[in-house]
Amino acid sequence: MRTLHHYDEIGLLEPAFSGENGYRYYEEEELLRLQQILIFRELDIPLAEIAALLDAPDFNRLEVLHVQRSRLKKQARHYVRLVRTIDRTIARLKGTYSMPNADLYSGVVSPEKQAEYEAWLIQRFGDSVASEIGDGHVIVAAPGTEPMQRRMAELEVIELGLAEGLRLGIPPQAASLAPLLERHCLWVETAWARKPTPEEYAGLAETYRAHPDFIKRYEGIAPGFTAYLATAMQNWAQRQA
């Protein structure tokens, strides 16, 4: 309703005639025009352009459609990128909770650390989507408690098992690593208090690959283990999807 009024106001679609009661009456022709308008509106073309479009010869339409196509494609890419970014953000937010690093288990990240992370993020992801958290104060479970020690031990067992795979030259996509990866995914599930989707699990792998604290931990286990673990996780995640 309001839409029709609006289109009348801006002269995009005028009624065929108006009754004595002031009602707007639309006929065949107007309905067809409306149909077109709605279609082009679906394509996110601004109304002003639609107006020009509908009162223009066909070859102009082609041109407008091409322009619009590239706009839409850009939008599509943009949103796909945003989804990836938000995945990383989520993975980082969650990953922070389960981040197996002594520096973070101190309970609060020092400001210097924080600044360092930000510089790293800017350099890593470009300053447009620079620091995704940057809040500075990350609270995690207290270290040294008995359940936490058990969990860390479990994590170590898993990681050492996988590192053994690296040492033996087992490729990271090998199916024989699946049991360990399953255990790892379960470990993450406990850490997040929520089962990660394959996509999220792969996103966590991405974080492992990129985050200096994780790198430090994994390269400390074995050189090249960061990439090996991340690849294995992502392959496994893909097989789960």
Least separation in angstroms between residue 83's CB and its own copies is: 5
Q: 140 or 162: whose CB is closer to its own copies?
A: 140
Among 11, 23, 29, 142, contact with DNA (rule: CB under 7 A) = 23
Taking CB under 8 A as the rule, does residue 36 contact its own copies? Answer: yes
In one letter, which amino acid is 231? T
Of 76-84, 141-149, 150-158, 215-223, the window that binds its own copies (rule: CB under 8 A) is: 76-84
Taking CB under 7 A as the rule, does residue 21 contact DNA? Answer: yes
Residue among 138, 148, 97, 81 nearest 114 (CA):
138
Tell the burial category of 84 from Cβ atoms under 10 Å away from its Cβ (0-12, 13-18, 19+).
middle
What is the Cα–Cα distance from 9 to 7, expressed in whole angstroms?
5
Of 12-20, 70-78, 166-174, 232-240, the window that binds its own copies (rule: CB under 8 A) is: 70-78
Cβ neighbors of 15 (< 8 A, separation 6 or more) are 8, 24, 25, 26, 30
Taking CB under 7 A as the rule, does residue 5 contact DNA? Answer: yes
Cβ neighbors of 124 (< 8 A, separation 6 or more) are 210
Can you say whether residue 61 is alpha, beta or left, with left for phi > 0 and alpha for psi between -120 and 50 degrees?
A: alpha
Taking CB under 7 A as the rule, does residue 19 contact DNA? Answer: yes
Taking CB under 7 A as the rule, does residue 39 contact DNA? Answer: no
Instruction: Give the position of tokens 């053994």.
Output: 164
Give strand pairing partners of 24: 18
The partner in contact with residue 42, picked from DNA, its own copies, none with C-beta cut-offs of 5 to 8 angstroms by kind, is: its own copies
Backbone CA torsion sign across 26, 28, 34, 35: positive
- 228: tokens are 């090996």
Taking CB under 7 A as the rule, does residue 57 contact DNA? Answer: no
Least separation in angstroms between residue 226's CB and its own copies is: 25
The partner in contact with residue 195, picked from DNA, its own copies, none with C-beta cut-offs of 5 to 8 angstroms by kind, is: none
Residues in contact with DNA by the rule CB under 7 A? 1-6, 19, 21-24, 41, 46-48
Binding site for its own copies (CB under 8 A): 32, 35-36, 39, 42-44, 58, 61-62, 65-66, 68-69, 72-73, 75-76, 79-80, 82-83, 85-87, 89-90, 93-94, 128-132, 134-136, 138-139
